[in-house]
Amino acid sequence: MRSVRTWSAAVVTAALLLACPPSTGPDPAVETIPPRFAGQDIAWGPCPVRGEPVECGTVAVPLDHDRPDGQTLDLALIRLPATGAPEERIGSLVINPGGPGVPGTGLFHGSAFSEDVRSAFDLVSFDPRGVGASDVLSCGDLYALDDARQDIADVHPDHLTPVHLQPLDDAARRYAASCAEAAGETFLAEIGTVNVVRDLEIVRDALGDGTLTYVGYSYGAHIGALYAHTYPSNTRAMVLDAAVDTDGSTVEIALDQAVAFQGAWERFVAHCAATVEDCPFAGETDPDALARELLDALDRDPASVDGVPVDGRLLLLMATSALYREETWDPLADAFAALEREEEGEPEKGLRALYEELFGGHVEQEGEEPVEPGPGGDHGDPRAAYTAVTCADHASPAGIEGYRDVAAEAADRSPLFGADAVWEHLPCAHWGHAERPPTGFTAPDAPPVVIIGTVGDPVTPYAWSRDLADRLDHAVLITYEGGGHTLYGSGRVPCVEEPVDHYLLTGEPPPDGSRCPRV
């Protein structure tokens, strides 16, 4: 479980950022595995995680795929063997949980998939380069940039003067420089999604699968789509859940996300008003203004939950996290309602229920040793890899003024969630050179790809899934009419689970344009 201060990265950084003018990208005709890395034999060994009988291993990849005789990296893998008889097994199902910066070995949940899928496939995930146990990337002070952002959080970007902006820009520059110093310019130049896709091809080969069967969530959808474009003949079945925007700029995508969070917040407010008797947002109340009043009141007089002070900043992070899953809307509504109740202890009771729902009853405090999430050892700073991949993959405004203009629009369109989503990417203004993935790719030679989009997704707006489905030559789109970020494997919506299971097992896609009502 991440600490309170790093939780904001987990709930805000679930999608990709920038892009550059369209390019053709790697030529599938010449993208072959260097002999040095072909036909690897993975030495699987036991590494029980959460009680599941999983196995772990590593696969070697070149740091620079254009110089395969040079330095190598070891990627950490995790596998849950198929439960079916040998003759019933199809191969491996490779899963990427999102990010960037999220270790696949640390978020591995075999139980998320149906018995039919688990019977037919070895479930496999991996830590992409620079993440988790795959040569983890760490940068400088985790919190200096957070603190600089917090210092301007209460000022509308239109009112920020150069005096306000200079400390923020300095903190972003120092963070970027610390990444280059810690990892080296060469490593940072090779950490982007183009190289993750090339790594995935080596992983597929090492697993012994002639073609790749893959499920990618959020950022993982970018990896999958680019793989299908780059290695179409090696693609068997590809599920892209909550697709990201591969063509926008960092600030454009941050603005889209702020608007999406605002839309999810408004859906939540309507849910609260309809289901909670004393919901404070019912009636003619301006929900954004009232929420800000409640947050400000907690800043002045924090509540205490199991000895941890819950101020307005923490509650906003909890609310942001709760918007990720419709299942957490009820405890979020109860928490806001409890803040308005006059009975002694009611606010703390409501906040504790939300706290436990989101954090499993515990949130690490600064200085506390983290609970090891997986078999890979030190997982470092997930924001370091997130920033590195984001800045490597996409172009970004060169000066802070370009961020301020978009931050102002984001603040206008989403008062609670807007501006900070833009400031988060300021280190990219100071980043070095890296290879960028193509934009506008269509994967013309790939087999059918299934894309899942959720209308009320707060992180990867539904329009991104729709646009990717329209752009790829052989894609079908399943639309869920509810909310939340990512869906397949949750078991909540049979209308999604069943056709996607069938596709993974048979290669037969569902009809394009399928729509599933909210459950």
Q: What pLDDT is stored for residue 27 in this prediction?
A: 44
Q: Which of the pair, 8 or 385, is modelled with greater confidence?
A: 385
Please tell me the distance from the alpha carbon of residue 79 to that of residue 37, in angstroms, as a whole number. Answer: 20
Residue 1: pLDDT band with limits 50, 70, 90: very low
Q: How many CB atoms lie within 10 A of CB 337?
A: 20
Residue 88, domain member (yes or no)? yes
Mean pLDDT score, 283-297: 92
Residue 43, domain member (yes or no)? yes
Looking up tokens 């992409």, which residue turns up?
128
Question: What is each CA distance from 6 to 118, 176, 308, in whole angstroms?
Answer: 33, 18, 15
| DSSP string covering 294-355 | HHHHHHHS-EEETTEEE-HHHHHHHHHHHTT-GGGHHHHHHHHHHHH--STTHHHHHHHHHH
Radius of gyration of the chain (CA): 22
Q: Which of the pair, 26 or 507, is modelled with greater confidence?
A: 507
Please tell me the distance from the alpha carbon of residue 471 to that of residue 243, in angstroms, as a whole number. Answer: 12
**Is residue 374's pLDDT more than 90?**
no
CATH number of the domain where residue 97 is located = 3.40.50.1820
Please tell me the distance from the alpha carbon of residue 52 to that of residue 113, in angstroms, as a whole number. Answer: 13
Looking up tokens 């007089």, which residue turns up?
301
**Is residue 512's pLDDT more than 80?**
yes
Read off the DSSP letter of residue 3.
B
Chain centre to alpha carbon of residue 77: 19
Q: Classify residue 344 as left (phi > 0), alpha (psi -120 to 50) or beta.
A: beta
Alpha helices in 394-519 (DSSP H): 400-413, 418-423, 462-471, 494-506
Residue 106: pLDDT band with limits 50, 70, 90: confident
CA nearest to 147, candidates 123, 128, 171: 171
pLDDT tens digit string along 16-42?
332 233 333 444 444 689 999 999 999
The pTM score is 0.90
How many independent structural domains does the chain possess? 1
3-state secondary structure 352-408: HHHHHHHHCCCCECCCCCCCCCCCCCCCCCHHHHHHHHHHHHCCCCCCHHHHHHHHH
Residue 50: pLDDT band with limits 50, 70, 90: low
Amino acid, single-letter form, for residue 180:
A
Measured over all CA atoms, what is the biggest interatomic distance in the chain, rounded to whole angstroms? 71
Whether the bond into 48 is cis, omega within 30 of 0 = no
Average pLDDT, the chain: 88
pLDDT tens digit string along 115-166?
999 999 999 999 999 999 998 888 887 688 889 999 999 899 999 999 999 9
Q: What pLDDT is stored for residue 136 in this prediction?
A: 87
133-142, 275-284, 472-481: range with lowest mean pLDDT = 133-142
pLDDT tens digit string along 410-449?
999 999 999 999 999 999 999 988 888 999 999 999 999 9
The helix/strand/coil state of 92 is strand
pLDDT tens digit string along 383-408?
899 999 999 888 899 899 999 999 99
**321-324 contact pairs (CB < 8 A, 24+):** 321/7, 321/10, 321/11, 321/358, 322/268, 322/354, 322/357, 322/358, 323/261, 323/264, 323/265, 323/268, 323/458, 323/483, 324/11, 324/14, 324/458, 324/459, 324/484, 324/485
Q: Which of the pair, 9 or 494, is modelled with greater confidence?
A: 494
At 395, list the tokens. 């172009």
Residue 475, domain member (yes or no)? yes
Residue 394, domain member (yes or no)? no
Q: What pLDDT is stored for residue 151 in this prediction?
A: 92
Residue 296, domain member (yes or no)? no
At 148, list the tokens. 């600089």
Amino acid, single-letter form, for residue 353:
A
Range of the domain at 450: 4-136+193-248+437-516
Q: What pLDDT is stored for residue 7 in this prediction?
A: 34
Q: What pLDDT is stored for residue 433 in this prediction?
A: 86
CA nearest to 488, candidates 457, 453, 462, 446: 453
H or E element that contains 455: strand 449-456
Q: What pLDDT is stored for residue 144 in this prediction?
A: 86
Q: What pLDDT is stored for residue 26 in this prediction?
A: 45
